[in-house]
Amino acid sequence: MQSHSWYRRFIHPVFSVAWRDIRITTRYKSWFVASFIWPIIFPFSLIFLGQGLAGPDGEGVESFTALAGTSDYSSFLIVGSLVWMFVNINLWMGGLSLMTDRTRGTFDTHWTMPVSKLALVVGATLASLALNFVPMVVAIGFYAAIGWLEMTGSIVQVILAILTVVPFLLGFLLCFAALTVRFREAGILVQVLRTVFSILCGLQFPLAVLPPVLQSIGAAIPLTHFIDLVRTIVIHGGAVFDHAASVAYLLGSGIALSALGAIAFELVRRSVRSSGLVTGY
């Protein structure tokens, strides 16, 4: 029987969409490469680049320490790379989920069903978060085992730190989903955004090397606070709530962006049904 309860209308569909994406993704053999090989090989080039720039005797490490606040450049770069991968996978899976739905041919069917359309995006985001978990664990385990990543902080605190970025991520992906419904194609936007984030948020280098204007812009992006938080906990230890200001900024901006994303998505949903942009490819 059809139920109108909040659980049946939203929560159950969210988990069903997430389960669907996890099931489909893991049925492709390439998932193994994405989860077990890519996270291991991806940070290598950055670490070797860092070693090259440090010079044969590591004299560059001193200036790196002055800029980054740590001499542990490999942990710094590995955490940055993993966050870059985290954002990347979420953009592709969560942000482009409705575009994938269009190209797959299931978009129109979903939109004629009584399910909340937000549930489709939230479910896809949940799936991408869950699928992200595997490469993170693989990479952290591998680099910790070979001694390139020194985990000073506890894994519980790292997970808590990751949870603080979820509202921001959800809001961001809702805005992104609205864009993909309106403009249909957003692949190039993903490419641009991940590069911009990688530069302004200092994912692969200390933020202090940027010109002051770009540093200010970067400091306003919640993702910058997230990478700082994760790096600090991984490299220096401590608890998430020792960084109350960053946590408050991440959660506050995340909740605001989620509300904005939900409104934008709803407005676009109505507008494309009127204009006809909801159909076609």
Kindly list the residues in this chain that would bind other proteins in the complex (CB under 8 A): 1-4, 8-9, 12-13, 15-16, 19-20, 23-24, 27-28, 104-106, 108-115, 270, 273-276, 278-279
- Tell me the closest approach of the beta carbon of residue 12 to other proteins, in angstroms: 5
- Tell me the closest approach of the beta carbon of residue 103 to other proteins, in angstroms: 9
What token pair was written down for 247? 């946590």
Sole residue written with tokens 């676009």: 268
Nearer to other proteins, 70 or 100 (CB): 100
Residue 18: exposed, middle, or buried by beta-carbon count in 10 A (0-12, 13-18, 19+)? buried
Q: Rounded CA gap, 136 and 48, in Å?
A: 20
- Tell me the closest approach of the beta carbon of residue 72 to other proteins, in angstroms: 42
Among the listed residues 71, 228, 70, 41, the one whose alpha carbon sits nearest the alpha carbon of residue 146: 41
Nearer to other proteins, 113 or 163 (CB): 113
- Tell me the closest approach of the beta carbon of residue 78 to other proteins, in angstroms: 33
Nearer to other proteins, 105 or 147 (CB): 105
Q: Are 258 and 173 in contact (CB under 8 A)?
A: no
- Tell me the closest approach of the beta carbon of residue 166 to other proteins, in angstroms: 22
**Contact partners, residue 78, CB within 8 Å, separation at least 6:** 43, 47, 139, 143, 148, 149
Residue 105 has φ and ψ, to the nearest 5°, of: 100, 5
Convert 176-190 into a string of H (helix), E (strand) and C (coil).
HHHHHHHHCCCHHHH
Nearer to other proteins, 13 or 202 (CB): 13
Nearer to other proteins, 123 or 218 (CB): 123
Nearer to other proteins, 62 or 108 (CB): 108
- Tell me the closest approach of the beta carbon of residue 22 to other proteins, in angstroms: 11
Q: Which DSSP string corresponds to 39-104?
A: HHHHHHHHHHHHHHHH-TT-THHHHHHHHHS-S-HHHHHHHHHHHHHHHHHHIIIIITHHHHHHHH
What token pair was written down for 170? 């959800």
Nearer to other proteins, 71 or 110 (CB): 110
- Residue 146 burial (CB count, 10 A): 10
- Tell me the closest approach of the beta carbon of residue 88 to other proteins, in angstroms: 22
